[in-house]
A and B are shown apart, each in its own frame.
Chain A
Amino acid sequence: MASTEIMTVNMGPQHPSTHGVLRLVIELDGEVIQKITPHIGFLHRGIEKLSEHRTYHQIIPLTDRLDYLAPMSNNLGYVLAVEKLLGITVPERAETIRVILAELTRVKSHLVWLACHALDIGAMTVFIYAFREREKVMELYEKLSGARMTSNYFRVGGLSSELYDGFEKDVREILDTFPAYFDTYEGLLTKNTIWLQRTIGNGFISAEDAVDAGITGPALRGSGVDWDMRRDNPYSGYEKYKFVVPVGEKCDTFDRYKVRLVEMRESIKIIGQAMAALKPGPILADVPQVCYPPKDSVYNTIEGLIHHFKIASEGFPAPEGEVYQAVEAPKGELGYYLVSEGGNMPYRMRIRPPSFCNLSAIEKMAKGGMIADLVAVIGTLDIVLGDIDR
């Protein structure tokens, strides 16, 4: 006589395949998942609360620490929200550089996703390769902003500094070499029997369910929903670039994998177009009450020094109102909802994290499957706990 008993298993928070500090309590019938209860918040730093006590410029470094694999995308969403609140426009050069960096960030973030996702499923070579390529983007980050991960490079109204000499050469090298690397990954995975067996049909979620569950970004496009904010609600000059929005059909892990790989190739194309469009010009808007003065003037004139000091210490007042600005971050819709009551600090700042909403669908995607497939589902959702917990 066979009898079954539901077994409760704890996974995480210290578990390599939970991508950080995610804890899942799983109820199993044999190896089949009956229920998943995620426990999050281990990385909660109260960034929304902190933001209510910081000036608008002082919040930018906090946003680096949300999705720490894609800091520039976080910066971009935030500065766009503040610029919308203030009603200022950014010079074209700054916009173009922001696009280049946001797309490099997307590639960098997707490389970590691919590396960890493949490692979770057992393909270690891809992990080593993808991290090797990511290092190139990290080096560029370091030369540009002084930091490998927490870049803090964007400013309200533009950028913190001009590009370094040789930036163009470094980006060109990435553009020239990366497509071949993507071919290598595809060669290792796309026709790999083990990979196919682990990903096809895994983590199924229909388009309707995915929208209902609030899934956004590549995970939603993998379910066949043709929606990309860069194309449909363009910001920062994305309307000027031609790119394809990949869409999946079968709503499974394999389609989400293909979508993200195509996205990396499209990002490379966008960067190429943006590099061609890059013209000399100012990198900060001409709004002295908001933007920092050029460093040359800070170091050499008393007016510049006072100006810098005023903005660094007091910040700038923002008009009363509320705005919501979303960007297509590598993980999905990253939104900033700012409420200003006047004054130099936001009255309330809400961050709409893509990973949080994506993770909430995990039970729907993994229920009824084997516990080993849960690891693939976590990988395909591409979550970052810094983003979920804030």
Chain B
Amino acid sequence: MAENHRAVVKLREKFAGSVLEVKEFRGEVTVTVKKEEIVAICTFLRDSLKYNLLSDVTAVDYLGREPRFMMVYNLYSIPGKDRLRVKAPVEESPAVVDTVSTVWSTADWLEREVFDLFGITFTGHPDLRRILLTDDWVGHPLRKDYPLQGPDREPYAGRLS
């Protein structure tokens, strides 16, 4: 089913070596690609397959696994009215990935947020500064090794018994 998705067919054709995994869950198709090709793939998805709206850019921290981070791009096609999720694994050091703000300008702020909360750096980003936290903040709160109650306090054990 997922293999028949219009984007998956085209990506397999054009970026055969870069597609790592294709998965479907609850009717949503997720394509995992190599991070080196992310800009080329995003440009292709926008121009040729009309995924013109970048809904969301975020990351997930899989602490203890290799590679540690996963970049997540949720795309939407306004003409095609369908969604596609593109993911790209990013290792812990250096946690660097190319910016897609050259493809969609909305990625500018969304990548700044990922930089702020996960500490992933985006090469080529025009204005990579913290966005939600203050400039002198230490650490990246959405990383799994950042304690919920802040760095100077006992780790939060959870409210559950």
Query: Could you tell me which A residues sit within 8 Å of B by CB distance?
Result: 40-41, 44, 46, 48-50, 52-55, 58, 84-85, 87, 211-214, 216, 225, 227, 232-233, 313-315, 321-324, 326, 333, 335, 337, 339, 344, 347-348, 350, 352, 356-357, 360, 389-390
- Once A335-B55, A337-B72 are accepted as A-B contacts, the answer to whether A54 and B159 lie under 8 Å apart by CB is yes
* Inter-chain contact A53/B159, CB cutoff 8 Å: yes
Report the minimal beta-carbon distance from A217 to chain B, rounded to whole angstroms. 12
* Inter-chain contact B58/A357, CB cutoff 8 Å: no
* Inter-chain contact A313/B160, CB cutoff 8 Å: yes
| In the A-B complex, the 10 residue pairs with the closest CB atoms | A214-B106, A41-B132, A352-B56, A360-B109, A321-B25, A350-B58, A44-B132, A232-B81, A348-B60, A227-B78
Interface string of B30-63 (1 = CB under 8 A from A): 1000000000000000000000111110101100
A interface: dominant SS: mixed
Residues from chain B with Cβ under 8 Å of A53 in the complex: 148, 156, 158-159
* A27–B25 CA distance with the chains assembled, in angstroms: 48
Having A233-B81, A324-B85, A335-B56, one finds 18 other A-B pairs with CB under 8 Å, namely: A41-B131, A41-B133, A46-B141, A50-B148, A211-B52, A323-B28, A324-B55, A326-B55, A333-B76, A335-B55, A337-B58, A348-B60, A352-B55, A352-B74, A356-B113, A360-B105, A360-B106, A390-B132
* A335–B106 CA distance with the chains assembled, in angstroms: 15
* A273–B2 CA distance with the chains assembled, in angstroms: 37
**16 residue pairs bridging A and B, Cβ less than 8 Å apart:** A44-B133, A48-B117, A49-B148, A53-B148, A53-B158, A53-B159, A84-B26, A85-B26, A213-B105, A214-B105, A323-B26, A324-B28, A337-B56, A337-B74, A347-B60, A348-B60
Interface string of B70-84 (1 = CB under 8 A from A): 001010101001010
Report the minimal beta-carbon distance from A110 to chain B, rounded to whole angstroms. 22
* Inter-chain contact B105/A212, CB cutoff 8 Å: yes
* Inter-chain contact B109/A357, CB cutoff 8 Å: yes
* A360–B112 CA distance with the chains assembled, in angstroms: 11
Report the minimal beta-carbon distance from B128 to chain A, rounded to whole angstroms. 14
Residues from chain B with Cβ under 8 Å of A347 in the complex: 60
Residues from chain B with Cβ under 8 Å of A321 in the complex: 25-26
Residues from chain B with Cβ under 8 Å of A58 in the complex: 159
B interface residues, how many (CB within 8 angstroms)? 40
Residues from chain A with Cβ under 8 Å of B28 in the complex: 322-324
| Shortest Cβ distance from A215 into B: residue | B106
* A213–B105 CA distance with the chains assembled, in angstroms: 5
- Once A322-B25, A352-B74, A360-B108 are accepted as A-B contacts, the answer to whether A49 and B160 lie under 8 Å apart by CB is no
Question: Quick check: is B96 within 8 A (CB to CB) of the other chain?
Answer: no
Report the minimal beta-carbon distance from A160 to chain B, rounded to whole angstroms. 20
Residues from chain A with Cβ under 8 Å of B30 in the complex: 322
Report the minimal beta-carbon distance from A37 to chain B, rounded to whole angstroms. 9
* Inter-chain contact A314/B148, CB cutoff 8 Å: no
Question: Quick check: is B142 within 8 A (CB to CB) of the other chain?
Answer: yes
Residues from chain B with Cβ under 8 Å of A84 in the complex: 26
Report the minimal beta-carbon distance from B83 to chain A, rounded to whole angstroms. 7
* Inter-chain contact A49/B142, CB cutoff 8 Å: yes
Interface string of B128-161 (1 = CB under 8 A from A): 0001111000000110001010000000101111
* A40–B133 CA distance with the chains assembled, in angstroms: 8
Report the minimal beta-carbon distance from B6 to chain A, rounded to whole angstroms. 16
* A133–B158 CA distance with the chains assembled, in angstroms: 42
* A117–B161 CA distance with the chains assembled, in angstroms: 48
* Inter-chain contact B132/A339, CB cutoff 8 Å: no
Residues from chain B with Cβ under 8 Å of A212 in the complex: 52, 104-106
* A339–B74 CA distance with the chains assembled, in angstroms: 13
Report the minimal beta-carbon distance from B23 to chain A, rounded to whole angstroms. 9
* Inter-chain contact B104/A49, CB cutoff 8 Å: no
Question: Quick check: is B11 within 8 A (CB to CB) of the other chain?
Answer: no
* A107–B69 CA distance with the chains assembled, in angstroms: 40
Question: Quick check: is B110 within 8 A (CB to CB) of the other chain?
Answer: yes
* A225–B134 CA distance with the chains assembled, in angstroms: 36
In B84-137, the 8 Å CB interface with A consists of: 85, 104-106, 108-110, 113, 117, 131-134
Report the minimal beta-carbon distance from A390 to chain B, rounded to whole angstroms. 8
Residues from chain B with Cβ under 8 Å of A339 in the complex: 60
Residues from chain A with Cβ under 8 Å of B72 in the complex: 337, 350
Residues from chain B with Cβ under 8 Å of A344 in the complex: 160
* Inter-chain contact B26/A49, CB cutoff 8 Å: no
* Inter-chain contact B142/A48, CB cutoff 8 Å: yes
* A46–B140 CA distance with the chains assembled, in angstroms: 12
Residues from chain B with Cβ under 8 Å of A323 in the complex: 25-26, 28
* A40–B104 CA distance with the chains assembled, in angstroms: 21
Residues from chain B with Cβ under 8 Å of A48 in the complex: 117, 142
* Inter-chain contact B78/A211, CB cutoff 8 Å: yes
* Inter-chain contact B55/A87, CB cutoff 8 Å: no
Residues from chain A with Cβ under 8 Å of B26 in the complex: 84-85, 87, 321, 323
